Amino acid sequence: MTEGGCGHIGAIEKVKHPKRRECEECVKIGAEWVHLRTCQECGGTRCCDDSPNRHATKHAKSSHHPVIASAEPGERWLYCYPDDAFVEY
């Protein structure tokens, strides 16, 4: 995958998809989520910024895992936090 400006997305050869269609953090605390995102570094699936707990963004910031993919059916895109790069694939 090639994308100008972001070497993180450029380094991804195969997009990681969710193992389970649930936010692994919300499940633990009994919270609800809106959309799901899958971390392309560790493969963990967490909730989006429209969700009350924003676990995907919190995980990216605290773990320094730069790239997430949408885990929603029919959505094919990647987002890199440090480069603020959005790429459809």
Which residues here bind Zn ion, judged by CB under 5 A? 6, 8, 23, 25-26, 33, 39, 41-42, 47, 53, 55, 65, 80, 83
Determine which helix (DSSP H) or strand (DSSP E) holds 55, and give its type and residue range. Answer: helix 55-63
User: Of the two residues 28 and 73, which places its CB atom closer to Zn ion in the complex?
Assistant: 28
Where are the strands (E) in 24-84, listed by range? Answer: 36-39, 45-47, 67-70, 77-80
Q: Which two tokens mark 86?
A: 């959005």
Tell me how far, at minimum, the Cβ of 23 lies from Zn ion, in Å.
3
Pick the closer one to Zn ion by CB: 50 or 73. Answer: 50
